């Protein structure tokens, strides 16, 4: 294993394709003068749409891209009805059906699924290295308050991650957690000093092989009392930062043995200093985790005034992609036996054998954007219609004419991982996408 330390603020241009779009990490804190994202959607804004299933009543798709959805799910003993989460008529709600359909599936609690196998392997590492001191939570409800998800981890009021463009809101005060850090404060208040929280998290995001609107994170927090760093010769934050990197480098060795990695300095509202770990995968650097030394204010607000702590948030899909050689993040949701049968409990070293490779089909769509247009909204429309058949949405052309009108052209890659798509089917999907883009995003098609 090679761990290259990067000392500059950020080693890579932000356009590196496989680095995640930075929801929490930024080069620097957002400026106080940046515009406040809308908390509640005004009816005049072209905005998210709770459900996209009815995109084209006049031209019903011949085949359903999205499977039927259960009306009630249960997480950690809490029953969640579809109506609790998806409310089309409520302008403060932007959760579509296809997102509700993922709640309660809990891939991380399946011992034969790559995400569950990875979770268990990480548990093994922590149990062995820390004599089972880490308390584990993997069944906390993903519906949390804005306070838990943002306020308690010091996310500023004007931070981009709070916008309806980035986060799924159930209503103005309640969200689908967009990171497992949402549970940090309550667990600190409950007196835990070593804990791991694994869960499904939800984000409005781009469409490509390493981004999916539902994915899994594992949060780790360790609190130190003064006697642990006093006498070490280091100050408390340096001591915690050193211990954190040692812990995560050990974890990487435990999981991967030899793989090329590097640390990158970054910014999170809840840690300082903050770092990301990137792994070289499929000929690119891929960000797999964020971490850092917990902001003192979080500790003092939650009864740990004299302590220091570290915290990390791992992207489990990203790590599992490297570990099992899984080329596309959509595969984790596959129920196809040719995928599921390749993995079994405790088997970490297995390399995924692609069972098929069907050709992608590319369709371009061009339109004049409006001020309220965002790429995440476009991706929501595309996913709402094509579901997991949408492999990638990529901006391929962008220009502003003399009148100041800006045109975007996106290339959509449609591909099934399980079968060949017919021309008719793809044309129908693209037709539905065009119609929905025009109606829901209020842009002018070219
Ligand atoms: C966070 O979510 C922070 N809460 C992590 C953290 C915890 C930092 C504690 C400090 C202390 P970030 O937005 O970078 O950070 O996401 C963490 C990881 O989730 C990323 O490194 C990446 O591996 C994964 N990830 C992010 N977005 C996606 C996505 N759309 N699909 C799949 N994985 C993703
Ligand atoms: Mg990040």
Domain ranges in the chain are 72-341, 361-445
**Ligand 2 centre distance from Cα of residue 89 (Å):** 33
Q: Which class is domain 361-445?
A: alpha beta
| Ligand 1, residues at Cβ distance < 6 Å | 20, 23-25, 179, 181, 203, 205, 211-212, 215, 217, 219, 268, 270-271, 287-292, 311-313, 315, 317-318
In ligand 1, which atom is closest to the CA atom of 287? 21
Ligand nearest to the CA of 289: 1
In ligand 1, which atom is closest to the CA atom of 277? 21
SS (H, E, C) the chain: CEEEECCCCCCCCCCCCCCCCCCCCCCCCCCCCCCCCCCCCCCCCCCCCCCCCCCCCCCCCCCCCCCCCCCEEEECCEEEEHHHHCCCCCCCCCCCHHHHCCCCCCHHHCCCCHHHHHHHHHHHHHHHHCCCCCEEECCCCCEEEHHHHCHHHCCCCCCHHHCCCCCCEEECCEEECCCHHHHHHHHHHCCCCEEEEEEEEECCCCCECCECCEEEEEEEEEEECHHHHCCCCCCHHHHHHHHHHHHHHHHHHHHHCCCEEEEEEEEECCEEEEEEEEEEECCEEEEEEEEEEECHHHHHHCCCCCCEEEEEEEEHHHHHHHHHCCCCHHHHHCCCHHHHCCCCCCCCCCCCCCCCCCCCEEEEEEEECCCCCCHHHHHHHHHHHHHHHEEEEEEEEEEECCCCCEEEEEEEEECCCCCCCCHHHHHHHHHHHHHHHHHHHCCEEC
pLDDT in tens, the chain (446 residues): 444 433 232 332 222 234 444 567 654 444 433 333 333 332 222 222 122 222 233 333 444 455 566 778 888 888 999 999 999 999 999 999 999 999 999 999 999 999 999 999 999 999 999 999 999 999 999 999 999 999 999 999 999 999 999 999 999 999 999 999 999 999 999 999 999 999 999 999 999 999 999 999 999 999 999 999 998 999 999 999 999 999 999 999 899 888 899 999 999 999 999 999 999 888 899 899 999 999 999 999 999 999 999 999 999 999 999 999 999 999 999 999 999 999 999 999 899 999 878 899 999 999 999 999 999 999 999 999 999 999 999 999 999 999 999 999 999 999 998 889 999 999 999 999 999 999 999 999 99
The CATH code of domain 72-341 reads: 3.30.930.10
**Ligand 2 centre distance from Cα of residue 336 (Å):** 30
Nearest residue CA, atom 25 of ligand 1? 315
Q: What is the pLDDT of residues 376-421, one digit of tens each?
A: 999 999 999 999 999 999 999 999 999 999 999 999 999 998 889 9
């Amino acid at each position: 294993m090679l761990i290259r330390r990067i000392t500059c603020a950020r080693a890579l241009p932000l356009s590196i394709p496989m680095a995640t779009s930075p929801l929490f990490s930024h080069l620097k804190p957002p400026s106080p003068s940046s515009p406040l994202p809308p908390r509640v959607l005004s009816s005049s804004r072209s905005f998210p749409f709770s459900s996209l299933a009815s995109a084209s009543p006049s031209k019903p798709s011949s085949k359903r891209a999205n499977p039927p959805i259960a009306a009630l799910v249960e997480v950690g003993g809490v029953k969640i009805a579809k109506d609790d989460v998806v409310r089309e008529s409520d302008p403060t709600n932007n959760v579509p059906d296809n997102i509700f359909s993922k709640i309660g599936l809990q891939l991380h609690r399946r011992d034969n699924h790559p995400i569950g196998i990875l979770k268990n392997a990480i548990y093994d590492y922590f149990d062995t290295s820390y004599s089972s001191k880490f308390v584990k939570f993997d069944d906390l409800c993903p519906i949390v308050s804005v306070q838990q998800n943002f306020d308690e981890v010091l996310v500023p009021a004007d931070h981009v991650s709070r916008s309806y463009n980035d986060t799924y809101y159930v209503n103005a005060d309640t969200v689908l957690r967009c990171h497992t850090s949402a549970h940090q404060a309550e667990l600190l208040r409950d007196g835990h000093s070593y804990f791991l929280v694994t869960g499904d998290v939800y984000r409005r995001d781009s469409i490509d092989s390493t981004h999916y609107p539902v994915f899994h994170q594992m949060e780790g927090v360790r609190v130190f009392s003064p006697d642990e760093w006093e006498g070490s010769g280091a100050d408390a934050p340096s001591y915690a930062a050193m211990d954190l990197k040692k812990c995560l480098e050990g974890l990487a060795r435990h999981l991967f043995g030899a793989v090329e990695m590097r640390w990158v300095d970054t910014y999170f509202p809840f840690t300082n200093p903050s770092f990301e770990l990137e792994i070289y995968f499929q000929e690119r650097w891929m960000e797999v985790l964020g971490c850092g030394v917990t902001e003192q204010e979080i500790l003092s607000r939650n009864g740990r005034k004299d302590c220091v702590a570290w915290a990390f948030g791992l992207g489990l899909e990203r790590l599992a992609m490297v570990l099992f050689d899984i080329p596309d993040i959509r595969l984790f949701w596959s129920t196809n036996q040719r995928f599921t049968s390749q993995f079994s409990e405790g088997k970490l070293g297995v390399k995924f054998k692609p069972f098929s490779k069907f050709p992608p089909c590319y369709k371009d769509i061009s339109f004049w954007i409006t001020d309220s247009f965002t790429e995440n909204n476009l991706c929501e429309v595309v996913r709402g219609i094509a579901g997991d058949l949408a492999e990638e949405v990529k901006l391929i052309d962008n220009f502003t004419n003399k009148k100041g009108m800006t045109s975007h052209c996106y290339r959509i890659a449609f591909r099934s991982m399980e079968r060949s798509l017919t021309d008719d089917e793809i044309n129908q999907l693209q037709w539905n996408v065009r119609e929905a883009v025009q109606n829901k995003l209020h842009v002018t098609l070219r």
